Structure 1
Amino acid sequence: MPPIISVNKLSKTYPTGLQALKNINLDIERGEIFALLGPNGAGKTTLISIICGLARPTSGTVLADGHDIITEYRRARSLIGLVPQELTTDAFETVWATVSFSRGLFGKPPNAAHIEKVLKALSLWNKKDNKLMTLSGGMKRRVLIAKALAHEPRILFLDEPTAGVDVSLRKEMWQVVRSLRDTGVTIILTTHYIEEAEEMADRVGVINNGEIVLVEKKAELMRKLGEKQLTLELQHPLESLPEALAPYRLKLGAGGTEIVYTYDIQRGDHNIAGLFSALAHSGIQFRDLHTKQSSLEEIFVKLVREAK
């Protein structure tokens, strides 16, 4: 099955000479949650703006479900919903009116049942007659999602959807996003909350300096690039490590009461059995041990640092 979004050799240079995107190639699969990560100024919003028809590319092509965003812009845009970073709402409109109006902008006939379904899914039904000025920031962000879903898109872009949202509401919105994916909507998410991508994404793409650094399934990415740490809690503290343990590149921690062994399974640069044998030979005893794998945030920081 062809990808629902296909980006081919896409570049964008602004009149100032800033090259925001450099020969981007990216395919997004149907029905997945795709997290696009990158530091500020990496090109995330420019890429989204081009796909959604808010900016024109300098070169390259983008297909939305097979429709060119330039030559078939009406059809392409009807498939896409966008939730922007900024809270842009008409303060004097009601929730119902603003969501219904958004549907009409795409030439869709009125459909009260669909609007009701969207508002209920986002826990906005009891707020449908409220003026937007009376809503909290988190509720206004839900209204933006409802507006983006009003015309029944098959592709939904969420640009920093939980910025400024408290933890409990953020988790509720994660559940909303998952339920949308379950109905067949493809979701592209940008976020600075890396745990959000770690929690929700099927695949992760990293962009930096206008270039795609990596695209990988989340689980595979963490398997390939995630270092592991083995921490041994010692029975007796050490002032320094014996010379015989130097090949293992160990570190002392917690005031000499812990030994930390960092290794990478993918590269095969570990020898835990040998380490235990060397510890015993050196007369070092431990009372407990635990392991930790790198988080997606640590992997992201490493990738961005290496790409500079």
Structure 2
Amino acid sequence: MALITTTGLARTFRTKRGPVQAVRGIDLTVREGEILGFLGPNGAGKTTTLRMLTTLLAPTGGTATVAGHDLATDPAGVRRACGYVAQSGGVDPQITVREELVTQGRLYRLPRARAAERAEELARELDLAGLLDRPCGALSGGQRRRLDIAMALTHRPRVLFLDEPTTGLDPGSRADLWELVRGLRDEHGTTVFLTTHHLDEADALADRLVVVDGGVVVAEGTPSALKLRYAGSVDASLQDTFLAITGRTTTPADAAPVAV
């Protein structure tokens, strides 16, 4: 079953220097229970696409549905069906983990008692139980990312959007987060839409990859299929495959940032 579909999804920004086509027409399908890796260099349109699919940014062209809800005509339905973890996170460093989770529950209109129960449930599931009364500002990077994900899971979304969730984390914290993402899919059936600059992360986590460049899809398939098609061997590195697909000389993490 397709949980996310887009047809010609596009976004043009108006600037003083003229229009900038950040996303030029994305066609994709994400199946229920799939972990999709969404790859591309800086400025390729990854975050813009995620912001459109989560109703944070209005498309200027094309159509999309998320969990059966049309992006244009039922944005509230889309928001109920998805959770979103942005690159920078969104916790208040001055309040405790418990207060942050309860507040998130209340924002989703849970009764106060149920919001407190849900905070306890999420803390157990995401290894935050011993941190509930700690200020968010005192958490480590890995703990903050788990809290970001816990907040996104408050309303039990069918789709979880993760925008470069392990940026800045040490190798151990990255491995822990990988295990968490796998568990969400395997134990709860959560569909995960993941953008990342870490090609080893995409290789380890994603069931299927979609590579974008210049605001359009340039390749898609399983990691092994893409390696065979573009690098000539299923044992090739995903870095070599990415460079072959895009015709670039740098990986996403090495590429210079672009404003859009």
**TM-score for both structures, normalised by structure 2:** 0.89
2:239 to 291, 294, 297: 297
How do residues 206-221 of structure 1 correspond to structure 2 at under 5 angstroms?
206-221=211-226
The reply on whether 1:175 has 2:179 as its aligned counterpart is yes
| AA at the equivalent of 1:12 | R
CA offset at residue 93 of structure 1? 1.0
SS at match of 1:104: helix
- State the superposition RMSD in angstroms: 1.6
Q: How does 1:221-300 map to 2 (within 5 A)?
A: 221-228=226-233, 293-300=235-242
- Out of 201, 222, 232, which is 1:196 matched to? 201
Aligned residue for 2:26, secondary structure, equals: strand
Instruction: For 2:195, give the aligned amino acid.
Output: T
Cross-structure match for 1:156 = 160
* Distance across 2 between alignment mates of 1:195 and 1:93: 35
Q: What is the CA-CA distance between 1:74 and the residue it aligns to?
A: 1.0
Q: Which moved more, 1:216-225 or 1:118-127?
A: 216-225
1:69–1:77 contact (8 Å) kept in structure 2: no
Retained in 2: the 8 A contact 1:204–1:216?
yes
Instruction: Number of aligned residue pairs: give it.
Output: 243
The DSSP-based 3-state class of the residue aligned with 1:162 is: coil
Give the match for residue 64 of structure 1. 66
**Correspondence for 1:98:** 100
Secondary structure of 2:24's partner?
strand
Q: Secondary structure at the match of 1:298?
A: helix
Query: Match of 2:5?
Result: 6
CA distance in 2, matches of 1:194, 1:38: 10
8 A contact 1:102–1:151 mirrored in 2: no
Identity rate, percent: 38
Q: 1:78-157 to 2 correspondence within 5 Å?
A: 78-109=80-111, 110-157=114-161
Cα-to-partner distance string for 1:52-82 (whole Å, 9 max, x where unaligned): 0110000111101111122111111111101
Cα distance in 2, alignment partners of residues 100 and 298 from structure 1: 45
Q: State the one-letter code of the partner of 2:192.
A: I
- Following the alignment from structure 1 to structure 2, what is the Cα–Cα distance between the partners of residues 104 and 26? 34
Aligned residue type for 1:209: G
Higher relative contact order (Cα pairs below 8 Å, separated by 6+ residues): 2
Q: Is the 8 A contact 1:100 1:150 kept in 2?
A: no
* Amino acid aligned to 2:3: I
Q: Could you tell me whether the CA contact under 8 Å between 1:138 and 1:164 is conserved in 2?
A: no
Instruction: Give, in whole Å, the separation in 2 of the partners of 1:31 and 1:45.
Output: 21
CA distance in 1, matches of 2:35, 2:223: 11
1:13 CA drift (Å): 0.4
Alignment counterpart, residue 210 of structure 2, candidates 201, 205, 208 = 205
Where 2:150 maps in the other structure, the secondary structure is helix
Please report how far the alpha carbon of residue 135 of structure 1 lies from its aligned counterpart in structure 2 after TM superposition: 1.1
Query: Quick check: 2:230–2:244 contact (8 Å CA) kept in 1?
Result: no
Contact 1:11 1:59 in 2 (8 A): yes
**Which of residues 166, 169, 177 is equivalent to 1:165?**
169
Task: State the SS of the aligned residue for 2:175.
Answer: helix
For normalisation by structure 1, the TM-score amounts to 0.76
> Does the residue aligned with 1:23 lie in a helix, a strand or coil?
strand
2:255 aligned residue: none
Identify the residue that residue 15 of structure 1 maps to in structure 2: 14
Cα–Cα, structure 1 residues 111 and 104, in superposed 2: closer, same or farther, change >3 Å? closer
Q: CA deviation at 1:226?
A: 2.9
SS of the residue corresponding to residue 78 of structure 1 reads helix
Aligned AA for 2:4?
Answer: I
1:255 alignment counterpart: none
Unpaired runs of 5+ residues, structure 1, are 229-291
1:216 & 1:227 partners in 2: Cα distance? 15
**Secondary structure at 1:20 match in 2:** strand
Map 1:38-77 onto structure 2 (within 5 A): 38-77=40-79
| CA–CA distance in structure 1, aligned partners of residues 53 and 84 of structure 2 | 10
Which deviates more, 194-203 or 94-103?
Answer: 94-103
Give the drift of 1:121. 2.0
State the 1:8 CA deviation: 1.1
The alpha carbon displacement at 1:206 in A equals 0.2
> Is the 2:162–2:192 contact (alpha carbons within 8 Å) kept by the matching residues of 1?
yes
